[in-house]
Structures are given as C-alpha cells and as structure tokens.
C-alpha cells in the first residue's frame, strides 16, 4: 500500500507546516459520499466501516469490498487485532492511501501511564497498518487495563499469623525465619521497617494514564503521524478534566490548525477533535448530555454501534419499522439517517455482508449529491440508486422517544465508561 503522506503548500505564517498538512491533506482526497469537517479542518467521511469483532480474514475482504462500494473510511483499533488486515484490504482495493481515511486506537493494555510505551504502541499500529500516518488516532478507553475500577476497601487485610500468647506486645507478622524465631522467644524486637509511601489511588492511576496517553496523541499530531486525534468512551467528567471548565477554553476550535489552543484549566494542549462513543436510539436518553456537550465544544461525535449491534429491540421497534415503511427504506437506514442527519454524528456500522454494506452506505448519501469518483464507479452507481428522503422533525421526535420505552430491556450494548473513577 502506498504510504506517501499528504503534502501542503499552506504558508507557515498562518499555522505550522504539520498543522497545515492536517488542514489541507483532504484537498486531493477522493471521498465518496458526504464529509464533515473536524475542528482542525480535516474532512472525515460521514460513514465508516467498523471492524470490531471481525476476524483477520473477514476484515481484509470486508475492507476491500467496502472500498469498492464507495466507502472511504475504515475504523479499526489495536485491540481488534485486525490492523494488518485493514492495511491489506486497502492495498487490495488499489486505492491511493490518501483517498482512504483510517482510524485506529491505543490499546488499553498499552495505556500504562508511560509515554515511551504508549508511543511505541502507536508506531506498532502504523507498522501493522502499513502506513506512515493515521487519519485519526484515538485513546480507546479512559482508564488503564488491568486496574480495577472500584476503589479498594479501607478494611485492613486479615493476618494469617496467630498472636503469640507469651509476648507482651503484638507487632507486625514476621517477614523472615530469623524474625519468626525472635518473635517466638520471650523478647519483642524493635521495629526497623522503613516507612513506605502511600499507595496511589485507582483514580489517580487512571488520571495519570489519561494525561500521558493524550500527550502521546499530541506528539503524533505535531509530528504529522496523525492528521487528527481524539478519544473514545470519554464521559463529560473525563473531558472536563482534560479541557478544564468550559468558560476557560472559549478559544478551542477557533482559528488555529490544531483546532484551538488551551487557555487554562485542563491538561490538553490540543483539544480532541473526536469522541467516539456508543450512540443509537435505545441509548439516546443516556447519551444526549455527552452528545450536546461535545457539540458545544466542537468535538465531533462518532457513533458506534449505530444499529445497536442489530438488536431487534431497535430494528424491529414499531417506530423504526413504521418509518421505514413510510419512507420506503430499511429499518437500518432509518436508524443511520437519524444519527447522521439529525444528531450530527459520524456513523460506524459494522458488517461483513456486501448487501448490508451497500444498504448502510446508501443511507448516508443523497441522490442529489455528486460523487467525486467517475460516473462509472461503484460509488457513483450507489449514489444514483438512492432515493432522496428525509426524516421530519416529528419522525425524529418519535425516534428520540424510543429511549424512554419501558419495554426496552437492554439499552447499552458495549462498555460502560461511567464506571471509570475520576476521584
């Protein structure tokens, strides 16, 4: 796969060369369907192929198929274990690397609170993908892997040692045989153990890991190894910690190629361009605050899994099926159009079936839009086949109301980041 980085001729007087590259790289890109500009000017295709739970063999074929159908956005992650297959699928498509928007994410297992290992993990992802740069690189999870998210109990652990009835005082359990021999005598030794530093709290471990991971993302961005950077599964509390109070960061997203600079309050020097979170109608009541918060701070929301992992509680819901019949489209297309056109989210549906990929893609493009590909391309054919339709405000309100339906038994399909402590 070609790995040539995009070039730019934007004057350094306005922004740095690396930031200028991030702004103008899409000028030569072929992006089928609609694109949305991030806060730094980089255009992200409105629909991407999600690669979660795809085997390497499935992933390679699915990526090549999707790109042949007109997709220009592929979403993977180190934890998915299919980055190499994504790179091979892009190569199989014969498309120029500049024409494909590739996202990957930092594996929580590499989220160790140490900059060198985080940076090495990002470079390893680039190597597996067979490319020199990410179009978007995300911190996958707001916590370190392997650390319990619940605070430790304050109750001291029970000792396995029994008290010596012949001793006048009770000291800490002996650590060596020699100490044990002394302890069993009629003498009580003087404690010589040096005082140790208090163990850091779980919340502070996660907080330090978030700071370090974001510093690595900023480094990748400044070095031109990532055209845009962001986070995934971050709640409002995690973003407030990162950005500071909203009033302190009014300059974010305005003017500079980084999408704004930090004024005060948080640890981010460059604000995130994206927050990838779980969004679909079943969970909208819970996720609405974070969606509106991100939009108020010019952070693009990427919605996964926008079809609620094909849940029948969504796709067979009477509101969704009724609107699908009314507009002559499928239930999946109704859900995708709701998220994209009315909640202003980039959508990342996952499928390995060509007919589903085509159906999902068609939900996100207009019959009136013109594809930049040639008129004989698959993307152009798909565009021409789409019937122009829109959801009315009453349609959108009806879909919003699904989140309050008491008959829904499962609303969250994936991880729950609200369990990650801040304090």
Asked if 368 and 388 touch (Cβ cutoff 8 Å), the reply is yes
CA distance 284 to 306: 11
Task: State the Cα angle at 272 between 270 and 278, rounded to 5°.
Answer: 170
Counts of helices then strands in the chain (DSSP H, E): 14, 10
CA distance 14 to 407: 55
Residues belonging to the chain: 423
Q: 169 has which bridge partners?
A: none
Asked if 372 and 32 touch (Cβ cutoff 8 Å), the reply is yes
| 291: enclosing H helix or E strand | helix 284-296
80 is catalytic: yes
Task: State the Cα angle at 45 between 40 and 47, rounded to 5°.
Answer: 135
Residue labelled with tokens 């629909």: 47
* Gyration radius of the chain over CA positions: 26
Please name the residues in contact with 197: beta carbons below 8 A apart, sequence gap of 6 or more.
none
Query: Of the listed 71, 80, 137, 304, which one is catalytic?
Result: 80
Residue labelled with tokens 């002559």: 328
Catalytic residue annotation = 80
């Amino acid at each position: 796969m070609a790995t040539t980085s995009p070039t730019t001729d934007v004057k350094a007087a306005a922004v740095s060369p690396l930031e200028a590259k991030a702004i103008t790289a899409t000028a030569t890109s072929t992006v089928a369907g609609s694109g949305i500009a991030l806060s730094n000017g980089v255009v992200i295709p409105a629909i991407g192929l999600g690669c979660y739970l795809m085997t390497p063999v499935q992933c390679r074929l699915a990526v090549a198929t999707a790109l042949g159908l007109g997709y220009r956005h592929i979403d993977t992650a180190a934890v998915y274990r299919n980055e190499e297959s994504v790179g091979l699928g892009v190569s199989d498509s014969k498309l120029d690397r500049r024409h494909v928007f590739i996202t990957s994410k930092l594996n929580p297992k590499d989220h160790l609170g140490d900059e060198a290992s985080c940076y090495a993990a990002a470079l390893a992802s680039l190597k597996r993908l067979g490319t020199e740069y990410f179009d978007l690189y995300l911190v996958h999870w707001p916590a370190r892997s392997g650390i319990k998210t619940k605070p430790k109990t304050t109750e001291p652990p029970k000792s396995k040692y029994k008290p010596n009835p012949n001793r006048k005082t009770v000291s800490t359990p002996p650590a060596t045989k020699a100490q044990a021999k002394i302890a069993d005598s009629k003498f009580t030794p003087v404690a010589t153990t040096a005082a140790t530093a208090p163990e850091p709290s779980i919340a502070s471990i996660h907080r330090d890991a978030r700071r370090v991971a974001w510093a690595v993302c900023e480094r990748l961005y400044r070095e031109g190894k990532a055209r845009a950077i962001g986070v995934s599964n971050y709640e409002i509390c995690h973003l407030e910690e990162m950005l500071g109070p909203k009033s302190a960061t009014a300059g974010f997203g305005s003017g500079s190629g980084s999408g704004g600079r930090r004024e005060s309050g948080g640890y981010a020097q460059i604000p995130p361009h994206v927050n990838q979170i779980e969004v679909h109608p079943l969970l909208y009541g819970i996720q609405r605050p974070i969606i509106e918060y991100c939009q108020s701070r010019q952070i693009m929301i990427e919605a996964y899994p926008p079809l609620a992992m094909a849940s029948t509680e969504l796709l067979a819901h009477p509101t969704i099926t009724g609107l699908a019949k009314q507009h002559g489209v499928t239930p999946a297309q109704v859900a995708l159009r709701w998220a994209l056109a009315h909640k202003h989210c980039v959508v990342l549906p996952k499928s390995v079936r060509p007919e589903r990929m085509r159906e999902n893609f068609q939900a996100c493009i207009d019959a009136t839009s013109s594809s930049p590909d040639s008129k004989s391309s698959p993307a152009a054919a798909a565009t021409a086949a789409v019937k122009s339709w829109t959801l009315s405000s009453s349609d959108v309100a009806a879909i919003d109301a699904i989140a309050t339906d008491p008959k829904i038994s499962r609303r969250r399909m994936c991880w729950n980041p609200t369990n990650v402590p801040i304090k």
